[in-house]
Amino acid sequence: MSINATNYRDIMSKPDLTAILGIPTYDSLHKMQIELKTNAISVHSNKGGGSHGHLGLIMTGPQYALLSNVAYIKDPHPGELVIPQNATRVAAEAQKRAYDERIRVFHEVRGVEQALIQQIVAAVEPEYLVAMKDRNTGQFIGNVQNILEYLLVTYGKISASQLNEFDTEVSDMHYDPVTPVDTVFNKIEDLLEYGDMAICPFTQPQAMSKGYNILNKTGKFRESIKEWNRLPALQKTWINFKVHFRQAHAELKEIGALTMEEAGYGQAAQANMVNEIVTRVSEELHHQANLAFGTPPPEPPAPLLVPPATAAHATTDTILQQVLAQNQELMKMLAAKTPTSSSTNNRRPRSNVSASKRGGQPTYPLPAWATEYCWTHGKCSHKSSKCRNPAPGHQEDATMEAKKDGSTFGCT
């Protein structure tokens, strides 16, 4: 059987790889590896499931298993065809056709691999590949994977600390289910690729374990996780993991189950957010009272602390009603302290008070949120430039460090 010589390089997506000038680095080798994968997958093949071209020439068996449940096997030359003498004509012709196909596939794989090696040789300066070249024949030793591994180990290897740092980043990832679940898968596959480049590959069980933990932290995929756990061990592959949880995410989205709590905001986070809103409102009311009276404002009612269990089930309207009721109570207490027109003269004097010594400064302990400095009021909750009740001669640019003969209240 005659084999047609095919120039696979010309039919690849990127015939000329990006040249690596000087010593190869991790970044330049990583870019070259991506371009090689693009070229390998651009040549169709029925091997390895038929969906990834000749990508199996670039990737190791475990790496390829993350993409396909069917392995990419690089078959050796089938040798000479031997047809039994007692074979029928139909059987002999069938064997001949099968043999011719094996020969064709063998030369196809060999041709694609040679084209990929030539692309590497053209992209990397010769002195950095000399160790992979046979001095007698001038041919390069090994296959594409061998050459790539040599370059990575020699020039672009990632340190153990760098790999560990990225591993920790992935393990600590917090996923918001409102976003596509492939956000998680891509992050993990980036780590797997990082491990491959560091010649410290991760396994499929490790990849699934990381994805499992990230999704479980959301509290959203509990039922889907239970279903996954019930699957037979042989079905628990990275590919099936992605299919399973993509479907789970689609179903949750379809039934409108991506609520606030289930979309990455757990009970504790929701309660904290409510309490933070209440605290800010109360602080602002205290600030207004301080400005209005120059005397201690009435003690507010106890803070509205919403426990996680309550926050998880309370509706937005319910929470807002609780906040409103508490603030109305505080406003009533402030109104009782509001000076009438007859008591206006009891307010802190202004015109006859020097700029350096002002009377009427409050004597009650400062709250924790009073961390700013005002020329008129001393240490309080606002800056000089933001003062709404300034005394005569007020200096807007006064600060805690440069008081400009302003108030020293609370500063010692």
Q: What is the pLDDT of residues 33-65, one digit of tens each?
A: 999 999 999 999 999 999 999 999 999 898 999
| 170 and 112 assigned to the same domain | no
Same domain, residue pair 285 and 241:
no
Distance of alpha carbon 114 from its chain centroid, rounded?
38
Residue 114 lies in a domain: yes
Could you tell me what percent of the chain has a pLDDT over 70? 71
Residue type, 185: F
CA gap 92, 82 in Å, rounded: 10
Q: Report the mean per-residue pLDDT for the chain.
A: 80
Is it the case that residue 330 has pLDDT exceeding 90? no
pLDDT tens digit string along 83-128? 998 989 999 999 999 999 999 999 999 999 999 999 999 999 999 9
Between CA 375 and CA 369 the distance in angstroms is 18
Exposure on the CB side of residue 40, measured as CA atoms within 13 A: 27
Q: Are 355 and 391 in contact (CB under 8 A)?
A: yes
Each residue's pLDDT tens digit, 265-275: 444 445 555 55
**What pLDDT score was predicted for residue 382?**
83
Q: How confident is the model at residue 5 (pLDDT cuts 50, 70, 90)?
A: low
Domain boundary among 155, 189, 220: 155
- Of 85-99, 126-140, 325-339, where does mean pLDDT reach its minimum? 325-339
Which run of H or E residues covers position 380? strand 378-380
Q: What is the domain extent for residue 271? A: 267-338
109 Cβ contact partners less than 8 Å away, ≥ 6 residues apart: 45, 47, 54, 57, 74, 75
In this structure, the answer to whether residues 233 and 136 fall within a common structural domain is no
**What amino acid occupies position 218?**
T
Across 328-337, 346-355, 381-390, which has the greatest mean pLDDT?
381-390
Whether 343 is in a domain gets the answer no
36 plus 111 within the same structural domain = yes
pLDDT reading at 129 higher than 90: yes
In whole angstroms, what is the distance from residue 38 CA to residue 34 CA?
6
Interhelix angle 204-217/222-229, rounded to 10 degrees, is: 150
In-domain check, residue 2:
no
Please say if the pLDDT value at position 345 is more than 50: no
pLDDT at residue 334, rounded to an integer: 61
369 pLDDT tier (thresholds 50, 70, 90)? low
* Nearest Cα residue to 288 out of 331, 343, 321: 331
Same domain, 44 and 168: no
Residue 259 has a pLDDT of 56
Last residue of a domain, one of 254, 281, 314: 254
What percent of the chain has pLDDT above 90? 46
Give me the amino acid identity at 135: R
- What is residue 331's predicted lDDT score, i.e. its pLDDT? 67
pLDDT of residue 320: 58
Choose between 304 and 385: higher pLDDT. Answer: 385
- Amino acid at site 212: Y
Strand pairing partners for 374?
378
Residues 200-248 have pLDDT tens digits of 889 999 999 999 999 999 988 999 999 999 999 999 999 999 999 999 9
Tell me 305's DSSP state.
-
Task: Clarify whether residues 177 and 307 are in a common domain.
Answer: no
The candidate with the shortest Cα–Cα distance to 367, out of 287, 274, 278, 275, is 287
Q: What is the mean pLDDT of residues 147-167?
A: 89
In whole angstroms, give the CA distance from residue 341 to residue 410: 30
**DSSP letter (8 states) at residue 141:** P
Query: Quick one: pLDDT at residue 380?
Result: 83
With beta carbons less than 8 A apart as the criterion, state whether 41 and 150 touch: no
User: Mutual orientation of helices 182-197 and 204-217 as an angle, nearest 10°?
Assistant: 140
Note whether 394 and 296 are same-domain residues.
no
DSSP per-residue string spanning 51-94: SSTTGGGTS-HHHHTTT-SS----PPP--S----TT--HHHHHH
Point out the domain boundary residue: 309, 338, 367: 338
Q: Supply the pLDDT for residue 249.
A: 94
Residue 368: Cβ within 10 Å count: 7
111 and 26, same structural domain? yes
- Is 259 among the domain residues? no
How many structural domains does the chain have? 4
- Structure token pair of residue 396: 């807007």
